[in-house]
Structure 1
Amino acid sequence: MQIGSNNSYSIGTNVYQQPQGTNKEENKESSTQKDSQSSNTQQKLEPSEQQQVNKLQARDTEVRAHESAHKAAGGGLAGSASFSYQKGPDGKMYAIGGEVPISFKEGSTPQETITNARQVVAAAMAPANPSPQDYSVASSARMVEMQAQQELIKEMQDKLNAKESYGENRSPQEQENTSNLDIAI
């Protein structure tokens, strides 16, 4: 990644491996149909189906918490979460995977770029269990951060060299006059 370019990443959960006998349905809507089951529906489900519903409910909760952590830590760099859904044996849709787009914006200075890169890392690593994609995004942002730090160090060295050069090019009289200045504020 080059400093000066804008990059967009997607961080999120891995898609859940669906249990046998269910259909995976992709859905990019952020609303959920995760209302609690009525006792009538629970009575109609076989024990294995109820177990499957329980697993899907747990996964839905985990996915939503994971994406919420990314969103909260990403602040203004984070977009809206999107989810992939699976229909359970109870006919309801459960989130089984998701992602939050993170837009990395290069700063106008190396320090701004460092700040933005650190926010991307924080957003990527915010969930309790970061996914492999989360680690990858964090690693890329850390590389951009290191490049910006190198650029900042180079700028500081250039300024220091310019000051030293300016001091060497002045006459001894000019150097003495500036070192003996009394300034009252």
Structure 2
Amino acid sequence: MISSNINITKPTYMENEFSLFKKEKKQSSADNELSESDKKRVQELKKIDREVRTHEQAHLAASGGLARGGASFTYTKGPDGKKYASGGEVSIEISPVEGKPEETIRRMQQVRRAATAPADPSSQDRSVAAKATREEAKARAELSKPQDDEKEKNNSGILSVYKNEFQESTFSVTA
């Protein structure tokens, strides 16, 4: 019989503190090695990183389940060797619901809310919102079309009756 014992131990409080101390010391020595312009660039990259992440989180929060996964980011490597988010995207389902205009309208309204959720929507965000508005308008037109077809059918029926009556009631007078 083969048996194995695996002992997993949690780090002690002191080991955790020492690990944090080493990280902080390493970070502070790395900061001290950066030039003033590099430090300024790192601060700028940190700010951009926060803005990008907040922007994409707003899309996710407003997507109402239409997001296909989480946010994905593009990164820029800073002078300190760390990667900072410099761009991002959230994929959202924007296709109309085939044969269901009411659902398409709801979906497009949700897409528009998700696209315009960030405090400062990008041009791409505004483009997606505009596309959602167009798709919603198409769905509304599709909803009203059966009513229009019914009206047309009724009107054409009335016109054909009038045409028949008119044709049947023609007479000629000869002198």
TM category (shorter chain) comes to: 0.5 to 0.7
2:79 counterpart of 1:89: yes
Measured after TM superposition, the shift of residue 48 of structure 1 is: 0.5
2:74 maps to a residue whose letter is: S
Mapping of residues 88-107 of structure 1, within 5 Å: 88-107=78-97
What residue is the counterpart of 2:55 in the other structure?
66
Determine which structure has the larger strand proportion and give its number. Answer: 1
* Per-residue deviation, 1:156: 3.5
| Aligned alpha-carbon RMSD (Å) | 2.3
Report whether the alignment pairs 1:124 with 2:115: yes
Deviations 1:93-134 (A, max 9, x none): 000001111112422421111000111111111101111111
The normalised TM-score by structure 2 is 0.67
Correspondence 1:1-185 to 2 at 5 A: 38-79=27-68, 80-107=70-97, 108-158=99-149
- In structure 2, stretches of 5+ residues that fail to align are 1-22, 159-175
Q: Give the superposition deviation at 1:158.
A: 4.4
Q: Deviations over 1:57-103 (max 9, x none)?
A: 00000000001111111122112211110110111000000111111
CA shift digits 1:148-181 (9 cap, x unpaired):
111112234446778x79xx9xxxxxxxxxxxxx
* Percentage identity across paired residues of the two chains: 47
Amino acid at match of 1:112: E
The one-letter code matched in structure 2 to 1:130 is P
In 2, distance between residues paired with 1:109 and 1:103?
15
Task: Give a deviation string over 1:20-53, Cα, whole Å, max 9, x none.
Answer: xxxxxxxxxxxxxxx9982222211111000000
- Structure 1 regions of 5+ residues with no counterpart? 1-34, 169-185
